Amino acid sequence: MGDALNTSNSDSTSNSTAGSTADDQLSIVTFLNEVKATSFEAISAETPAQKRALSYANTILQLFTQVMEKQQPADRVVGEYFRINKKHGSKDRRVIRESLFALFRWWGWLNKFNTNTGTNTGTSTVNTGTQAWFTMLTVNARLESHSWEPFITAWAGFSGQEKQLSLDGETRLENASEKCDWLTEQFPAIRFSTDELVPDWFWQTCPTQDAEQRLAMVEALSSRPPIWARVQNIDIDEAIDKLAKLDITATASEYFSDSISLGHKSINLNGMSLYREGELEIQDLGSQVVGQICAPNPNDNWWDTCSGAGGKSLQLRSLMLAQDKQAKGTIVASDVRRKPLEELAKRAKRASFRGITASPWKSDELPVPPNHFDGVLVDAPCSCTGTWRRNPDMRWIDVIDSVNDKPNLQLDILTRSSRAVKVGGTLVYATCSLSPLENEDVVNAFLAKHSKFELEITRHPFTGIEATMHTVLPYQADTDGMFVARMKRKS
């Protein structure tokens, strides 16, 4: 779940953006391997803070390299590292984890200190990969206003920078624009722009309407959303009171009566009875829009065709029960992967939800009866660009093909799944992509061949706009990005 949640369980003047192409990725990996090869042992660390700063820098480098080189998700890499290396206390974990995720958040800028690109920092020449790495760590910590000053001072010292990247202790750089201005002041020889915080291909595949929207998009994608959750089987005020007793300040969302923000601090879900007893499920508010647009009736039969671990199946059932405690509606959850379906079974049990059954896809044949369901939800596999706020590494390990490869599969799944909708029934198509290629284009291609389906007008819950297709943009309500369109089978 990216960097918000701990579930316990170019040269200096070029416009190119870090990681935009396979060549850029190769240059980054070469740089990281050079740093690795240059032993940190030559660095003289005398004080305990310097020794710890050096050790953190080494660990962060290993983890960062593993993500970039093996293209493995950062949350999995860091989770596995802490599982094996039990020696780290909570402070160590915080410094390592937060620094690692922040490196990805600001990599579009930090990569400019990559010695493979021959950068001159304007204050002193960064002449070794190792010094460049320490410059990156120092700038990274300043951009995030991290409070571990002794380690930042040590990193700045190891970087060979003549000045220690000033930022008086009281000042916080609030957003990407302020951070960009500050960087430009610190390194006047290097050109920084907010657009570089995402790879070039993002702008090609996820176009924005104007400069204002483009900036809002970058600001959102380079900040962290709160942890959003949904309450079920319990009144929201009671849930907020129970959370307050655990020192968690939760706030009800202004949009849906069952959604709640748990703030930005890491939380230990398994330590919360509310979670263990199925009264709270983590689900981004943007994702919750999908269930709300499905708007199931209490006695409907729904099929969640790409259910994963069933976040939306649970939401559908909860929405049925919120209307009628005796709701007889059912949900069949399907996926090509079996493990997430097992996880769904556990989640449904925790919530004492009856009426949810699993039926995995075993081939292209429908795993459910045709023409049967009041509603079919296709939450299709996608590039996940809408979730980059939580997984800032994904923007640098994915390439443009992660968008371009998906529409054929998405159209195929939507087409096959549509056969299960009964006459008069509902078909909902959703993704967590911000690209029209995976969204509007897929829906339009489907409708062009399936005239018995028509789009319905629905209301965007955050903007109030009535339309047939909605993209939930991350800055509208501090959420992940999502796309959703609702169709009806006419005949």
Sequence letter at residue 220: A
| Cβ-based neighbours of 399, under 8 Å, separated by 6 or more | 21, 22, 25, 199, 201
**From CA 487, how far away is CA 428, in angstroms rounded?**
6
**From CA 171, how far away is CA 251, in angstroms rounded?**
27
Binding-site entries: 335, 379
> What is the pairing mode between strands 373-379 and 356-358?
unpaired
| Cβ-based neighbours of 84, under 8 Å, separated by 6 or more | none
In angstroms, the Cα distances linking 217 to 106, 180, 196, 286, 389 are 15, 15, 12, 15, 10
DSSP per residue, 159-221: HT-SS-----TT----SHHHHHHHHHHH-TTS---GGGGS-HHHHHHS--SSHHHHHHHHHHH
In angstroms, the Cα distances linking 10 to 32, 64, 115, 126, 132 are 15, 19, 10, 14, 14
Shortest Å distance, C-beta 344 to ligand SAM: 9
Residue closer to ligand SAM, measured from CB, 21 or 72: 72
Rounded to a whole number of angstroms, the distance between the first and last alpha carbons of the chain is 41
Q: What part of residues 326-365 is at the interface with ligand SAM (CB under 6 A)?
A: 335-337, 340, 361
Shortest Å distance, C-beta 113 to ligand SAM: 35
Binding-site entries for S-adenosyl-L-methionine: 335, 379
289 to 308: interface string for ligand SAM, x by CB under 6 A: ----------------xxxx
DSSP per residue, 279-346: SEEE--HHHHHHHHHH---TT-EEEETT-TT-HHHHHHHHHHHHH-TT---EEEE--S-HHHHHHHHH
In angstroms, the Cα distances linking 70 to 29, 66, 120 are 10, 6, 29
382 to 421: interface string for ligand SAM, x by CB under 6 A: -------------------------------x--------
Residue 312 interacts with ligand SAM (CB under 6 A): yes or no: yes
**From CA 259, how far away is CA 268, in angstroms rounded?**
19
| Cβ-based neighbours of 70, under 8 Å, separated by 6 or more | none
Site size with ligand SAM, rule: CB under 6 A? 15
Task: Confirm whether 432 is a catalytic residue.
Answer: yes
Positions marked active-site = 432
Binding site residues, ligand SAM, CB under 6 A: 305-309, 311-312, 335-337, 340, 361, 379, 381, 413
